[in-house]
């Protein structure tokens, strides 16, 4: 799939932002006054910046408000609702902490649940797509959730919890890659099932000489040797390096480096999440033939 920068940025930033909301909502003794203001400002900046950047890829933005209509069937619509509910609930919680020094614990818990729900709905937008087998697996929502919680724990300063979630996220990430590399064959869609022709089927002629929306959007291929390198870079930046920094004596500067490294790593994993994802329509254009299930 085409790795659109706006969507990659959105899922990385808002993931960390909503993760921070989760920990702010669940803290037994949350900060008050100016300290609370700083924490909530960071959380809102990340989550809202992410949500805004997600609207950049809409080609007809004036109808974006209509995306609240079909929550009964659409994960994208549910995400829009969850995000608004989470941001509004956390606003009540944040105002009480910042201006009145009052800790409305149940509101915080509700906000934390809604924040997690937002991340989950984001992940389900991709997970639900059978046409993209690499995304259509259990590890996809787990990966989004664990990375969001790891980022949130780091941003809120829970060192031990952050280390635990970093380990979990790293494990889920490896699982997602391992399973993802097998999903296309498992889905069983091949150029033979796509065309229902027999024998060794190859594309003889494309429908048109030029590119089209489908080939640009869905038939994206990334060189395998680059993919392996990028996976190593992403894993080191997102998991290994922040873990090492967390084990060192903590300081604000070190924490900042750990968080930046983590976010850069997550950005790389999200780029790979899109760039490596094979849409079955690629088969009609002669792509991904090496990924399909071997003929029985």
Partner 1 sequence: MTALPASTQKKLGLVIDLDTCVGCHACVTACKGWNTQNYGAPLSDRNAYGDAEGTFLNRIHAYQSQPDQGLARTTHFPKSCLHCDDAPCVTVCPTGASYKRAEDGIVLVNEDACMGCGLCAWACPYGAREVDEVAGIMKKCTLCVDRIYNENIPEIDRQPACVRTCPAGARHFGDLADPASDISILVAERGGVDLMPEQGTKPVNKYLPPRPRDTIGAAQMSDDEDILAPFLAPVAEEPAGFLGWLDRSLERL
Q: How far is the CB of 202 from partner 1 (least distance, A)?
A: 5
Q: How far is the CB of 261 from partner 1 (least distance, A)?
A: 31
For partner 1, the closer CB: 85 or 158: 85
Q: How far is CA 71 from CA 8, 66, 67, 75, in A?
A: 23, 11, 8, 7
For partner 1, the closer CB: 50 or 265: 50
Residues interacting with partner 1, by CB under 8 A?
Answer: 1, 57-64, 66-70, 72-77, 80, 125, 128-132, 187-189, 191, 193-214, 217-218, 279-281, 284-285
For partner 1, the closer CB: 34 or 213: 213
Q: How far is the CB of 111 from partner 1 (least distance, A)?
A: 23
CA dist 48 and 53 (Å) reads 8
For partner 1, the closer CB: 136 or 146: 136
Is residue 1 within 8 A of residue 220, CB to CB? The reply is yes
For partner 1, the closer CB: 56 or 100: 56
Q: Could you give the angle at the alpha carbon of 60 between the alpha carbons of 56 and 62, nearest 5°?
A: 95
Q: How far is the CB of 63 from partner 1 (least distance, A)?
A: 4
The 3-state secondary structure of 63-112, one letter per residue: HHHHHHCCCCCCHHHHHHHHHHHHHHHHHHHHHHHHHHCCCCHHHHHHHH
Q: Which two tokens stand for residue 144?
A: 């989004």
CA dist 240 and 256 (Å) reads 15
CA dist 157 and 3 (Å) reads 31
First to last CA, the chain: 28
Q: How far is the CB of 121 from partner 1 (least distance, A)?
A: 11
For partner 1, the closer CB: 208 or 252: 208
Q: How far is the CB of 282 from partner 1 (least distance, A)?
A: 9
Is residue 23 within 8 A of residue 17, CB to CB? The reply is no
């Amino acid at each position: 799939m085409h790795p659109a920068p706006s969507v990659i940025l959105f899922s990385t930033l808002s993931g960390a932002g909503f993760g921070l909301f989760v920990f702010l909502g669940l803290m037994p003794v949350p900060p008050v006054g100016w300290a609370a203001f700083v924490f909530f400002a960071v959380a809102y900046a990340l989550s809202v910046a992410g949500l805004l950047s997600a609207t950049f890829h809409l080609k007809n933005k004036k109808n974006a408000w209509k995306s609240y209509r079909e929550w009964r069937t659409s994960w994208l619509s549910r995400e829009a609702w969850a995000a608004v509910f989470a941001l509004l609930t956390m606003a009540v919680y944040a105002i009480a902490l910042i201006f009145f020094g009052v800790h409305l614990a149940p509101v915080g818990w509700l906000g934390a649940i809604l924040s997690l729900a937002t991340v989950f709905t984001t992940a389900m937008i991709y997970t639900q797509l059978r046409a993209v087998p690499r995304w259509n697996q259990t590890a996809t929502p787990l990966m989004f959730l664990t990375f969001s919680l790891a980022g949130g724990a780091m941003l809120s300063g829970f060192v031990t919890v952050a280390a635990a979630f970093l380990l979990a996220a790293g494990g889920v990430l490896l699982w997602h890659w391992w399973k993802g590399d097998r999903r296309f064959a498992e889905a069983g869609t091949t150029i033979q099932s796509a065309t229902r022709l027999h024998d060794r089927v190859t594309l003889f002629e494309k429908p048109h000489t030029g590119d089209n929306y489908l080939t640009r959007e869905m038939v994206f291929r990334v060189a395998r040797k680059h993919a392996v390198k990028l996976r190593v870079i992403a894993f080191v930046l997102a998991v290994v390096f922040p873990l090492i920094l967390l084990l060192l004596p903590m300081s604000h500067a070190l924490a900042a480096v750990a968080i930046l490294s983590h976010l850069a790593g997550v950005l790389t994993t999200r780029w790979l999440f899109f760039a490596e994802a094979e849409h079955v329509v690629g088969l009609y254009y002669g792509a991904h033939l090496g990924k399909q299930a071997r003929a029985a």
